Amino acid sequence: MASVKDLKKKIKSTKGTLKITTAMKLVSAAKLAKAQHAIVSTRPYTEELDSTIRTVSALVQKYENVLLKESENTRAVLLVISSDRGLCGSYNSQLAKKVRAFITESKNLDLKVYFIGKKVRELVRKDAHEGKLYKFAKTEPSYNETTAVANEFATLFAGGEFGKVFVAYNVFKSAMNFIPTVKQVLPIALDKAFQEKLKTEIPFDFKYDPSPNEILDVLIPESYRSTVYTCVLDALAAEHGSRMSAMDSASKNCKTAIRSLTIEMNKLRQEDITTELIEVVSGAESLNA
Amino acid sequence: MNYFLVDVLTPSRVLARNIPAESILVPTVRGQINILPEHTHIIAKLETGLLSIFGDADDSDRHFTVTTGICKVLGNRITILSNVSEEDLEINIERAERSLANAKEKLSLPSLSNDEFVKFTRKVERANLRIQIAQKYAAHGKSN
pLDDT tens digits, A87-141: 888 888 888 889 888 888 888 888 888 888 888 888 888 777 777 788 777 777 8
What gap in Å lies between CA A134 and CA A111, rounded to an integer?
Answer: 17
Specify the pLDDT at position A157: 87
Confidence label for A258 from pLDDT (cuts 50, 70 and 90): very high
Write down the mean pLDDT value for chain B: 82
> Residue B113: what pLDDT?
80
Q: What is the pLDDT of residue B144?
A: 36
Residue A265 confidence (pLDDT) above 90: yes
If 0-12 CB within 10 Å is exposed, 13-18 middle and 19+ buried, where does residue A202 land? middle
8 Å CB contact between B91 and B134:
yes
**A280: Cα within 13 Å, side-chain hemisphere:** 6
Q: What is the dihedral of CA A231, A82, A140, A176, to 10 degrees?
A: 80
Sign of CA dihedral A253, A256, A259, A260: negative
Going by the DSSP 8-state scheme, the letter that residue B30 receives in this structure is T
Q: Say what the pLDDT of residue B59 is.
A: 66
Distance CA(A71)–CA(B76), nearest Å, equals: 41
Q: Which of A44, A205, A218 sits opposite B9 (nearest CB)?
A: A44
Which range among A197-201, A212-216, A228-232 has the greatest average pLDDT? A228-232
pLDDT for the residue B141: 47
Q: Does B28 reach chain A within 8 Å, measured CB to CB?
A: yes
The β-bridge partners of A254 are none
Residue A253, pLDDT > 90, answer yes
- B44 touches A at CB < 8 Å: yes
pLDDT at B57: 65
Q: What is the pTM of this model?
A: 0.82
**A201 in contact with B, Cβ within 8 Å:** no
CATH code assigned to A27-244: 3.40.1380.10
Least confident segment among A55-59, A263-267, A279-283, B70-74: A55-59
Q: Is the pLDDT of residue A146 over 90?
A: no
End-to-end CA distance of chain B: 28
Confidence of residue A222 (pLDDT cuts 50, 70, 90): confident
Structure confidence at residue B114 as a pLDDT band (50, 70, 90): confident
Residue B97, pLDDT > 80, answer yes
Give the pairing type, strands B23-28 and B49-54: antiparallel
Residue A186 or B49, more confident: B49
Q: What are the start and end residues of each CATH 2.60.15.10 domain in chain B? A: 4-87
C-beta separation of B13 from B90 below 8 A: no
Give the model's pLDDT for residue A201: 66
pLDDT at A261: 94
ipTM value: 0.79
- Assess contact for A220 and A188: CB atoms under 8 A: yes
pLDDT of residue B143: 38
> What is the model's pLDDT at position B142?
40
Interchain contact A49–B (C-beta under 8 A): yes
pLDDT at A1: 59
pLDDT at A221: 86
Please compute the mean of the pLDDT values over residues B45-65 and round it to a whole number.
Answer: 82
Question: Residue B30: its pLDDT value, please?
Answer: 86
Nearest CA in chain A to B8: A45
Indicate the class that CATH gives domain B91-143: mainly alpha
State the SS3 of chain A. Answer: CCCHHHHHHHHHHHHHHHHHHHHHHHHHHHHHHHHHHHHHHHHHHHHHHHHHHHHHHHHCCCCCCCCCCCCCCCEEEEEEECCCCCCCCCHHHHHHHHHHHHHHHCCCCEEEEEEECCHHHHHHCCCCCEEEEECCCCCCCCHHHHHHHHHHHHHHHHCCCCCEEEEEEEEECCCCCEEEEEEEEECCCCCHHHHHHHHHHCCCCCEEECCHHHHHHHHHHHHHHHHHHHHHHHHHHHHHHHHHHHHHHHHHHHHHHHHHHHHHHHHHHHHHHHHHHHHHHHHHHHHHC
The percentage of chain A sitting over the pLDDT mark of 70, rounded to a whole number, equals 94
pLDDT at B140: 53
Interior angle at CA A141, CA A137 and CA A145, nearest 5: 85
How far is it, in rounded angstroms, from Cα B68 to Cα B50?
12
Beta carbons of A206 and B14 less than 8 Å apart: no
pLDDT by residue (tens digit) across A4-22?
899 999 999 999 999 999 9
Asked if A3 and A272 count as a contact pair (C-beta separation under 8 A), the reply is: no
Most distant CA atoms of chain A, gap in Å: 117
Model confidence pLDDT, tens digit, residues A64-81: 777 887 777 788 888 888
Predicted confidence (pLDDT) at residue A26 exceeds the cutoff of 80: yes
User: Phi and psi dihedrals of A90, rounded to 5?
Assistant: -95, 20
A206 chain-B contacts, CB cut-off 8 A: 41-43, 72, 74
Which part of chain B is CATH 1.20.5? 91-143
CB spacing of B79 vs A207 below 8 angstroms: no
Taking CA atoms, A197 is separated from A52, A54, A55, A95, B43, in Å, by 14, 11, 10, 36, 20
Measured distance CA(A219)–CA(B70) in Å, rounded? 8
Instruction: Flag whether residue B79 sits within 8 Å of chain A, measured between CB atoms.
Output: yes
Average pLDDT over residues A234-249: 91
Quick check: helix, strand or coil at residue B84? coil
Evaluated on CA atoms A9, A11, A14, A19, the torsion sign reads: negative
Question: Taking the CB of residue B79, how many other CB atoms lie within 10 A of it?
Answer: 22
Q: Is there a contact between A75 and A153 (Cβ–Cβ < 8 Å)?
A: no
Secondary structure letter of residue B89 according to DSSP:
G
CA distance A240 to chain B (A): 19
Closest of A169, A236, A249 to residue A32, by C-alpha: A236
CATH hierarchy code of domain B4-87: 2.60.15.10
The more confidently predicted of residues A33 and A213 is A33
